[in-house]
Each structure stands twice: as structure tokens, then as C-alpha cells.
Amino acid sequence: MPIKTEPTIINLGPQHPSTHGVFRLRVSFDGEKVINVEPVFGYLHRGTEKLAEERTFTQIVTLTDRLDYESSMTNNLAYVEAVELLANVSVPERAQYLRVLVSELQRIASHLIFTGFFLQELGVFGTLLMYCFRERENVLDLFEMLCGARITVSYMRPGGVTQDAPPEFWKNLDDLLNKLPQLLDDLENLITDNEIVLARTKNIGILSPQKAIDSSVTGPILRASGIEWDIRKANPYEAYDKMDFNIPTGSNGDCFDRYLVRIKEIRESINIIKQCIKSIPKKGPIKNSEVPFFLRPESGEVYSSIESPRGELGFYLVSDGGIAPYRCKIRSPSFINLTVLKPLLIGWKMSDLVVIFGSLAVNMGEVDR
């Protein structure tokens, strides 16, 4: 006969390794069982959307780096695409391929970070995280060759990118692409069939397809629930309409599927990058020279979105004809994906809570924007 206990309220965070930044969970427990959850956020609020209204359209690029700071390249892309749509600006073909290439490199780096830290949630300290960090450092080396920065890259501009890839970039990129498949095989050999990993992630935190759709969840979390939805396929942008790739999906929508979908996505990203290398024009402009530094789009409004490593990242911009947006609103996947956290956690144990939350891979920079 189970023992009846008094509910206990425990605060997890906002400064806790397993809350992935300044995020707080106010959890009610009956013994070890989670009976209620109150997510509390706002500790990192930096007013990015309001700051954007006082910056020129070009200056805002630096703000986007600091949203999901593990995915700066894709943040840049989502923003500049919205500006280009608002101002009716075209992008040279070589720049389009460079944008796709660096976006997929960013997806690889972001998913490697997820994999390493997800294993930390399971209590695997050190080894696998260092494997993932090692290859992520190689990706950041490539970013440094492109723009001189590793994390907050500010590589893209309305109408193109800041500069072309130097000759040594392509050799180092080939070296990385040759090494990554073996790394992924090594990771899967250590993780995918590991009985402890399976016991802690299989059938844990199941998100049904209908619940995922009703909650507007996107990205790997949605695809892990079996929904084949990817903006790169559904509404291709840049050079994605010229790319041939698959959309990995899960079958159960549990923590294990959310891990495995990301591993499969890394393999697809490698495939896309190889296609970019093969198809990119050997010469040509990397920026539309007709775009003025003080861009003044005509009055109007647009919404544009891309497939970031965490899901649909969109920007809504309103122009009044000035050098800065009249309004800027961000549809960040980490914020939207948190809507399923409470129903996913209730009924599970304390140890499961950490794993389920980790499988969502939120970044608080784009939640408390």
C-alpha cells in the first residue's frame, strides 16, 4: 500500500546546472512524484525587441547573436531574411549558398551541444561532453575564419554576408566533414543502445503528435513526435529548394526520440553542406551592393521564419519608413516549446524531470528576450 505524504514544494533554479540558464521551476512533489509545476522565467530579460526599435536595420544583427547564443548564424539569417522581405532586397546566389552552409554548420554545433549536455543530465560526467565539444570547436574555428568571431558572429547583412570564405576555409571544412561521420558513429555506439540510456529515456516524457501540434511546438521536438514538418522543405528559403535531404522523425515522442532525431539531423546537415560545396558558384558577389547602410524600407509589415536548430524562428517587423523598425517581435522556438513542459513533467519522478526538461534543449537567451 503506497504511503500518503504531504506535498512538498521545491524550487529548482534559477541558478542550477540542470535549468540550462536562469530558469526556475517551482515543483510540487508527493514524495518523489511531480504533482504540479510552475515555470518561472524573466531573470535574463534584456529587452531585445525594444532595443531593436532604437537601432538601424543593420545594427540589429548584433542583437540577434545574443538570442540563442548557441545558434547565432541561424538567428542572423532569420532576421536578415525578414528585412530583405520588408525592403524587397535580393541576395546574390553565392551568398545564398554560404548562408545555407553556415546555417547547417550551426545546426551541427547546436545539436552537438545538446547531445553532450543531455548525457550530463543522465549523470554521464565528462567524456561524451568533451567529445561533442571537441568537434564543436572545429565548427567554431570555421566561423572564426569567416568573420573573426566564434559565438556572436554577426556574419550576415541585409543583402548578403559580410565577407567571402578564405581559401583555407574550404580545406578545413573538408577535414571536418570527413571526421564527423566517425564521431557520430562513436557517439551512437556509446549512447543509442546503452541500457542505462534506454532505461532513462525510452517511454519517458512522451509528447503525443496532437499535443505537439496543439501547443505549436516545432523543430526536433515536433519531429520526434512523428510529425514530418520542416520549414526548409515546407517553405524553402535561400538555396534549400536545390538541396536533397530527408526529414528525420521519431515514432514515440519520448526523450530518446528527441535525442535520436538530432543525431540523424546532424547526418542530414553533413549531406546538405556537401551539396552546397558542390553547387556553390565559384565566383560572384557575396552582397547586394545596392543596399544602403542606412536602409529605409517603405512603410509596411512582414513576418518571416526559418528552421533554426530549435524550431521555427520568426521575426515580425513593422516599418514606418525610418532607419529603424517601428516594431520588432520575435517568435522564438525555445519560448513556444516550453508550453509543453508542465504536462510533460506531471506524474514523473524527480530524476525524470531533469531528463525531460533537458530533452527540450531550450536556450533562455531567446526566452527572456
User: Has residue 317 been placed in a domain?
Assistant: yes
User: Has residue 74 been placed in a domain?
Assistant: yes
> What range does the domain containing 235 cover?
8-366
The CATH number linked to 305 is 1.10.645.10
Whether residue 76 contacts residue 47, with contact meaning beta carbons closer than 8 Å, is answered with: no
Mean pLDDT of the residues in the chain? 94
- pLDDT by residue (tens digit) across 201-222? 999 999 999 999 999 999 999 9
pTM given for the model: 0.95
Whether residue 263 contacts residue 135, with contact meaning beta carbons closer than 8 Å, is answered with: no
Residuewise pLDDT in 10s, the chain (369 residues): 566 678 899 999 887 777 888 899 999 999 899 999 999 988 888 899 999 999 999 999 999 999 999 999 999 999 999 999 999 999 999 999 999 999 999 999 999 999 999 998 888 877 889 999 999 999 999 999 999 999 999 999 999 999 999 999 999 999 999 999 999 999 999 999 999 999 999 999 999 999 999 999 999 999 999 999 999 999 999 999 999 999 999 999 999 999 999 999 999 999 999 999 999 999 999 999 999 989 999 999 999 999 999 999 999 999 999 999 999 999 999 999 999 999 999 999 999 999 999 999 999 999 988
User: How remote is the C-alpha of 152 from its chain's centroid?
Assistant: 14
User: Has residue 350 been placed in a domain?
Assistant: yes
User: Has residue 1 been placed in a domain?
Assistant: no
- Give me the pLDDT at residue 2, please: 65
Query: Nine-digit cell at 4?
Result: 500518503
**Phi and psi at residue 342, to the nearest 5°:** -60, -55
User: Has residue 98 been placed in a domain?
Assistant: yes
User: Has residue 2 been placed in a domain?
Assistant: no
* Angstrom distance (rounded) from CA 358 to CA 352: 10
User: Has residue 133 been placed in a domain?
Assistant: yes
Query: Nine-digit cell at 24?
Result: 526556475
Domain count, the chain: 1
Say if residue 257 is exposed, middle or buried (CB neighbours under 10 Å; 0-12, 13-18, 19+): buried
- Give me the pLDDT at residue 123, please: 85
- Give me the pLDDT at residue 3, please: 67
User: Has residue 3 been placed in a domain?
Assistant: no
Q: Which long-range contacts (CB under 8 A, 24 or more apart) does 134-138 make?
A: 135/108, 135/176, 135/179, 135/180, 135/183, 136/109, 136/112, 138/172, 138/176, 138/179
- pLDDT by residue (tens digit) across 232-260? 999 999 999 999 999 999 999 999 999 99
